[in-house]
């Protein structure tokens, strides 16, 4: 087993940017551009597992569920089904575009997408303090009605135009179904797409039945766990900044190209990284190293092929 295994997490922007309308043409073009950069890792001899976000896509699926109920009285699907839908649609799109990128480069490799359930703990503190905002912005009256009829929990938006958004828990992933199959498929040379959108969140009840969780799991934490459970050597988070920064967007901003576990943890604890954005990415990187991973990388997709770019965190680097 001489080949290195890498898990590469594609951020939301890698598939659909916030300034785009969300058409399939835009998504396909972004995806192909992102995947072009992974050819570098394939040529370097890596086996690959790809994970991806689903923020804009599952947001649209939730909005369509709302609209379908209002216009046509079609039963809304719960969050777990919406996440699973997004794994199917996005996973298929990535698989198809990846096949075409490989074809363009004359690389003979197969691509396969696994619908992935990820297990959380029903007693995770997140379930009593839901924080993750999903779906559309409602008026106060709509939110009160939905709260009464569906039991949804809402929080007021802080932005100028206000309104209310549904919040769901974002529990910590503790196990991933089919991770040994995902590893075996990757080790046989398949590029495996898995754990999309942080995985379909489920928990195991007292009868050992698998039950759906009305929750969403952070994509980077889920990807990091998948990297550990598949015995990956390296874990890449592709996002919309080229580096990890200290004093980000301040006059004394500093690029951190090489970080040790200890220093990254220190900066994390100092609050150097934005909550819900860079902080969970750093946490995901550190978790991977703590569980035995060799290197975590945070960078932009199109900087991947240039080894000078991107921030690398390992156990041994000294700041």
Point out which residues bind a second copy (CB under 8 A): 21-24, 60-61, 63-68, 70-72, 74-75, 77-78, 80-82, 84-89, 91-93, 95-96, 99-100, 103, 110, 112-115, 117, 136, 178, 181, 185, 190, 193, 200, 202, 207-210, 212
From the candidates 281, 287, 293, 312, which is the catalytic residue?
281
Is 55 tagged catalytic?
no
Q: How far is the CB of 143 from a second copy (least distance, A)?
A: 17
Tokens 């196990």: give the residue. 175
- Nearest approach in angstroms of CB 48 to a second copy is 15
Residues 6+ apart with CB under 8 A from 247: 253, 254, 272
Concerning whether 181 is annotated as a catalytic residue, the answer is: no
Look up 122 and say whether it is catalytic: no
To the nearest whole angstrom, how small is the minimum distance from the Cβ of residue 199 to a second copy?
10
Tokens of 40: 């570098």
Per the annotation, the verdict on 100 as an active-site residue is no
Nearer to a second copy, 100 or 253 (CB): 100
CB 122 within 8 A of CB 203: yes
Give the residue with the Cβ less far from a second copy, 37 or 87.
Answer: 87
- 191 or 282: whose CB is closer to a second copy? 191
For 271, which DSSP code?
T
Backbone angles phi, psi at 277, to 5 degrees: -135, -90
Tokens of 209: 């039945």
In whole angstroms, the minimum distance from the beta carbon of 74 to a second copy comes to 5
Q: Which of 219, 293, 310, 312 is catalytic?
A: 219
Told to judge if 13 belongs to the known catalytic residues of this protein, a careful annotator would answer yes
Q: Which two three-digit tokens encode residue 139?
A: 């008026």
Q: Which of 12, 196, 197, 198 is catalytic?
A: 12
Q: What one-character-per-residue DSSP string does 27-58 give?
A: HHHHHHHHHHTTHHHHHTT-EEEEEE--HHHH
Strand partners, 156: 164
Query: In angstroms, how far apart are the furthest CA atoms of the chain?
Result: 60
Task: Kindly list the catalytic residues.
Answer: 12-13, 132, 219, 281
């Amino acid at each position: 087993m001489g080949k290195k295994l890498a898990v590469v997490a594609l951020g939301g922007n890698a598939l659909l940017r916030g300034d785009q309308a969300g058409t399939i043409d835009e998504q396909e073009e972004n995806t192909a551009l992102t995947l072009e950069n992974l050819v570098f890792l394939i040529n370097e001899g890596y086996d690959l597992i790809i994970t991806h976000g689903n923020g804009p896509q599952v947001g649209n699926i939730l909005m369509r569920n709302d609209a379908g109920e209002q216009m046509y009285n079609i039963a809304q699907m719960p969050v777990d089904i919406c996440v699973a839908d997004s794994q199917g649609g996005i996973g298929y799109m990535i698989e198809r575009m990846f096949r075409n990128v490989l074809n363009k480069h004359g690389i003979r490799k197969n691509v396969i997408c696994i619908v992935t359930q990820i297990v959380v703990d029903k007693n995770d503190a997140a379930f009593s303090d839901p924080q993750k905002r999903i779906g559309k912005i409602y008026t106060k009256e709509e939110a009160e009605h939905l709260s009464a009829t569906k039991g949804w929990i809402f929080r007021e938006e802080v932005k100028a135009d206000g309104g209310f958004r549904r919040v769901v828990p974002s529990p910590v992933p503790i196990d991933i179904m089919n991770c040994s199959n995902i590893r075996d498929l990757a080790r046989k040379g398949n590029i495996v797409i898995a754990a999309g959108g942080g995985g379909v969140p489920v928990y195991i009840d007292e009868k050992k039945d698998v039950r759906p969780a009305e929750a969403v799991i952070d994509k980077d934490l889920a990807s990091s766990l998948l990297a550990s459970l598949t015995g990956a050597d390296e874990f890449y988070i592709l996002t919309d900044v080229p580096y990890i920064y200290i004093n980000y967007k301040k006059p004394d901003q500093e690029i951190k190209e090489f970080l040790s576990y200890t220093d990254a943890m220190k900066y994390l604890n100092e609050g150097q990284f934005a909550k819900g954005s860079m902080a969970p990415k750093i946490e995901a990187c550190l978790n991977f190293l703590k569980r035995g991973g060799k290197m975590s990388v945070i960078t932009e997709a199109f900087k991947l092929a240039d080894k000078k770019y991107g921030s690398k965190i390992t156990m041994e680097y000294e700041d």
